[in-house]
Amino acid sequence: MNDTASTPHEIIVVGAGMVAHRFVESLLSRAEADVRVTVIGDEGRAPYDRAGLTRFFSGAGPEELELDRSVFADARVRLISDDRVLRIDRSRRTVRTRSRRRYDYDTLVLATGSYAPRVAVEGADLPGCFVYRTLDDAEELQGFVARRTRMLGRPLRGAVIGGGLLGLELAGALQGMDVDTTVVECSDRLMPAQLDAAGGGMLKSLAEARGLTVRTHARTVTIDPDESGAVTAVEFQDGSFLRADVVVFTVGVRPRDELARNAGLDVHARGGVLIDEGCSTSDPRILAIGEVASFDGGCVGSVAPGYAMAEVAATRLLGGEAIFPGYDESAALRLPGVDVASFGDALGRTPGAFDIVHADPDAGVYRKLVLSDDAQTLLGAILVGDASEYGALRPLVGAKLGADPSAYLRAPGDHVVETLQKDGTYSVIPSVPGGHVTPDALIAIGQIAKDFGLHPSIADGHRIDLRGARLEQLPRIRQRLIDAGLERRDTAPAPAPTATSHRPAAAEHYSLQERA
């Protein structure tokens, strides 16, 4: 829908988060010198790594979370922090901000992101109740825990309302602050959007093994105060309650689309600015990217789709052809003792989907591959307890496996490919049996790194990481490792647990869709 004939001179980006940063970075790396970009953010900070926010609780300062500042050192860019766009005048192509300033645009890019809601129950705003979305939220939570601990003279009891990826990460962070933490999930399992019942059950066992308490089928109805007015307990629909000195809501996100609504742009009934495959809105002069955008009827609260949208929007503004392919809702969780990944059609919604399952409850491992009805094409997977094959399997979604699919349910200790970088690249870790490496193997590793532009490093004092691999490079890198003898070509699951496969009956498959 974008009718601009050439790169616009004045581009305004509303929002200064990770997706806005990626858009500006991508645009400036390819744009002509006369383009000018104004980025307006309402936080009093430069853009920072929101996806890595839990690092703040383990000692990372705000400056360590900042994204590359060199983007804003470019003379073609100005960053306006601690101001907020309040109104878009589409007829005049201007925006007005809280500070009463007016800015003109040729093209406007909405990257306003989303906000974290609270559960709509009595007591949700009591002192000691928090949401977890921004660095300010993290600082307020940490400060409250420290003050309340001193006041009560004992470790705090905490409740995280929402057992998704963010809730589990935050629960681990609270544990690190010596808070006895319970994860509360209204569904029948943790991470219900990504895991099936068996995978969710295994995750619950792993979480409890590391000291977390997990309550499923628990719907919060009231949050009670003590005599000082601060939170003291959470009540549930079944009449039970949980003592809690601090409560954090991690129940998803909602798009910040009020600016677009007030400007008369088309929005989805459930929220989000409607965009086409080129990230254009109903106004051809306005684009929307990231969590505020609604594509194909939905919004996703993760950074990877936002980055993809940012690249598409930048390419379109530069006159190129690019389309947003749709949402990739892959999820990976890594806490000490808890390793989970889910990607593709993990819940088997595709008609006739065929599952291959490897489960070892004693070892705390559950792996499931979801295949096409001929058991040849990988549709998705769930990995719990050992997600080391995530990076190797993820690029194969939609591809013919070309081997016995059970061979992909690998035993721990083989070659590993995993995500370590926030920029979306991968780290490849060659298998070195027994820690013994031959000169030829070292030469092969070096040549692979050179050929694919990877960055070798020594990790944990005993393994070689090849960092910076792009997703599309992984299959070729893997084949090179196989050819060099650094990965076994045919690896079957450990013999003790058996790999089983089943083709769900139509009724079972339908009920799975309904639960999702």
Single out the residue of 495, 499, 337, 472 nearest to residue 408, CA to CA: 499
pLDDT per position as a tens digit, 172-201: 999 999 999 999 999 999 999 999 999 999
Is residue 463 predicted with pLDDT exceeding 50?
Answer: yes
DSSP state of 35: -
* Cα torsion 396, 400, 402, 405: sign: positive
Q: What does the block give as tokens for 210?
A: 């590391």
Of 50, 339, 386, 336, nearest in space to 176 by CA: 336
**What pLDDT shows up at residue 246?**
98
Asked whether residue 5 carries a pLDDT value surpassing 50, the answer given is no
Please name the residue that has the structure tokens 């052809």: 321
The Cβ of residue 436 has, within 10 Å, a number of other Cβ atoms equal to 7
DSSP bridge partners of 370: 355, 380
- H/E element holding 316? helix 303-317
Residues 6+ apart with CB under 8 A from 75: none
- Asked whether the beta carbons of 368 and 356 are under 8 A apart, the reply is yes
Tokens read off for 384: 């719990």
pLDDT score for 376: 82
Give me the percent of the chain exceeding a pLDDT of 90: 60
Specify which residues 234 forms β-bridges with.
223, 242
Q: Where are the domains of the chain?
A: 10-114+254-317, 129-249
Give the whole-angstrom CA distance, residue 483 versus residue 474: 14
Measure the CA–CA gap between 141 and 170, rounded to whole angstroms: 11
Assign 434 a pLDDT band (cuts: 50, 70, 90): low
Residue 254 CB neighbour total at 10 angstroms: 17
Least confident of 67-71, 110-114, 153-157, 222-226: 67-71
For residues 139 and 456, which has the higher predicted lDDT (pLDDT)? 139
The three state secondary structure string of 360-388 is: ECCCCEEEEEEECCCCCEEEEEEEECCCC
pLDDT score of 128: 97
pLDDT at residue 505, as a whole number: 28
The answer to whether the Cα torsion of 36, 40, 41, 45 is positive or negative is positive
CA distance 248 to 128: 8
Q: What is the pLDDT of residue 231?
A: 97
β partners of residue 295: 298
Q: Which residue has the tokens 């769930």?
A: 382
Contact 373, 512 (CB under 8 A): no
For residues 260-265, average pLDDT? 97
Q: In terms of pLDDT, which residue wins out, 13 or 474?
A: 13
Tens of pLDDT along 397-409?
988 887 666 666 7
Please state the pTM of the whole predicted model.
0.77
pLDDT at 419 exceeding the cut of 70:
no
Contacting residues for 62 by C-beta, under 8 A, at least 6 apart: 45, 48, 56, 135
Domains 10-114+254-317 and 129-249 share a fold: yes
Tokens (6 digits) for 373: 């009805």
Most confident segment among 240-254, 318-332, 333-347, 500-514: 240-254
Give percent of the chain with pLDDT exceeding 70. Answer: 85
Tell me what pLDDT residue 488 has: 45
Q: What is the mean pLDDT of residues 415-436?
A: 59
Q: How far apart are CA 127 and CA 306, in angstroms?
A: 33
Distance separating alpha carbons of residues 181 and 213, to the nearest angstrom: 6
Is 10-114+254-317 a domain of CATH 3.50.50.60? yes
* pLDDT at 1 (0 to 100): 44
Classify domain 129-249 by CATH architecture.
Answer: 3-Layer(bba) Sandwich (3.50)
Question: Helix, strand, coil proportions of the chain in percent (round to 5)?
Answer: 30, 25, 45
Average confidence score pLDDT of the chain? 85
Mean of pLDDT values over 347-372: 86
| Token reading at 17 | 């988060």
Q: pLDDT tens, 271-288?
A: 999 999 999 999 999 999
**Which stretches does DSSP call E strand in 165-219?**
180-184, 213-215
Q: Which of 39, 24, 17 is nearest to 97 (CA)?
A: 39
